[in-house]
């Protein structure tokens, strides 16, 4: 059996959500857990698969096994019309076997997103990403206001999860508060996974 890990599963077209995933991983590692970073391929309206089976750069593609055996899940997507991006939804729509077996029931999860505009749907996207995770029986964790950056931020950052305002050209980097909140959410998620594992060990 492999060491426990937190799966950081994201889709990113232009890199902003990927940068958030890396910061989430920093927080997860701060709690002493491995962060397994995985992405999903783009979807196409063509019927045949067009993406190479191994991505040309960046994280490897996620498998159902990555999801089945994770101790916790951090799910990240760019905002697309106030909702998660289709490639991530497509991957989640292929997880029926895990729903049937209850593989994700009771595992902690957290969500993160990046938008072009500051009020362009960060919260709705984060909430929409929680829905399939709740159907899977996962335990959603957000960000508490005891995180000072949540009150100080002039960019992204919500109690529902981490967020980032990339600007209309998509070039605005994660600022200090957005970075801090990504790391805080990663840390919180990994700590929840650890505490849950210890509690279950105690029960056994
Ligand atoms: C089809 C499409 C829809 C989008 N919808 C929104 C939106 O509703 N609100 C918003 O602020 N940005 C929207 N954006 C912009 C992206 O969310 C934003 O550029 C994000 O930072 C991209 O993340 P990435 O660099 O990880 O790909 C949209 C982009 C595309 C391509």
* Residues 6 or more apart whose Cβ sits within 8 Å of residue 163: 112, 113, 114, 115, 122, 123, 126, 156, 157, 178
Q: Which CATH architecture has domain 5-41+53-203?
A: 3-Layer(aba) Sandwich (3.40)
Beta partners for residue 60, in sequence order = 38
Would you tell me how many other CB atoms lie within 10 Å of the CB of residue 29?
16
Contact 59, 119 (CB under 8 A): no
Gap between the Cα atoms of 83 and 3, Å rounded: 33
pLDDT of residue 3: 87
Name the residue among 97, 119, 109 with its Cα closest to residue 141.
109
59: CA distance to ligand 1 center in Å?
20
Please tell me if the CB atom of residue 122 comes closer than 6 angstroms to any atom of ligand 1: no
Gap between the Cα atoms of 157 and 136, Å rounded: 25
pLDDT of residue 198: 80
Phi/psi at 140 (nearest 5 deg)? -80, 135
45: CA distance to ligand 1 center in Å?
19
Contact 136, 9 (CB under 8 A): no
Query: Quick one: DSSP state of residue 34?
Result: E
pLDDT of residue 1: 60
153 SS3 class: coil
Supply the pTM of this predicted model.
0.96
Gap between the Cα atoms of 138 and 58, Å rounded: 27
Please tell me if the CB atom of residue 42 comes closer than 6 angstroms to any atom of ligand 1: no
pLDDT of residue 2: 75
Give the atom of ligand 1 at the shortest distance from the alpha carbon of 17: 26
pLDDT of residue 44: 83
pLDDT tens-place values along the chain, 204 residues long = 678 999 999 999 999 999 999 999 999 999 999 999 999 999 987 777 777 778 888 899 999 999 999 999 999 999 999 999 999 999 999 999 999 999 999 999 999 999 999 999 999 999 999 999 999 999 999 999 999 999 999 999 999 999 999 999 999 999 999 999 999 999 999 999 999 988 877 787
- For the purposes of burial, counting CB atoms within 10 Å of the CB of 162, is it exposed (0-12), middle (13-18) or buried (19 or more)? buried
Phi/psi at 41 (nearest 5 deg)? -75, 160
Please tell me if the CB atom of residue 15 comes closer than 6 angstroms to any atom of ligand 1: yes
CA dihedral 147, 149, 151, 153 (to 10 degrees): -160
Contact 23, 183 (CB under 8 A): yes
């Amino acid at each position: 059996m492999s060491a426990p890990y937190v799966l950081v599963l994201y889709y990113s077209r232009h890199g902003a959500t990927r940068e958030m995933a890396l910061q989430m991983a920093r927080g997860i590692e701060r709690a002493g857990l491995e962060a397994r970073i995985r992405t999903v391929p783009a979807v196409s309206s063509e019927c045949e698969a067009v993406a190479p089976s191994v991505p040309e750069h960046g994280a490897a593609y996620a498998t159902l096994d990555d999801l089945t055996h994770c101790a916790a899940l951090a799910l990240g997507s760019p905002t697309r019309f106030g909702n998660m991006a289709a490639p991530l939804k497509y991957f989640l729509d292929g997880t029926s076997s895990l729903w049937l077996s209850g593989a994700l029931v009771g595992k902690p999860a957290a969500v993160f997103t990046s938008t072009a505009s500051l009020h362009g749907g960060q919260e709705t996207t984060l909430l929409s990403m929680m829905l399939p995770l709740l159907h899977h029986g996962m335990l959603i964790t957000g960000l508490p206001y005891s995180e000072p950056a949540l009150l100080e931020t002039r960019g992204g950052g919500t109690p529902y999860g981490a967020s980032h305002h990339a600007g209309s050209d998509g070039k605005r980097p994660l600022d200090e508060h957005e970075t801090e909140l990504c790391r805080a959410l990663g840390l919180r998620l990994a700590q929840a996974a650890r505490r849950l594992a210890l509690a279950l060990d105690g029960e056994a």
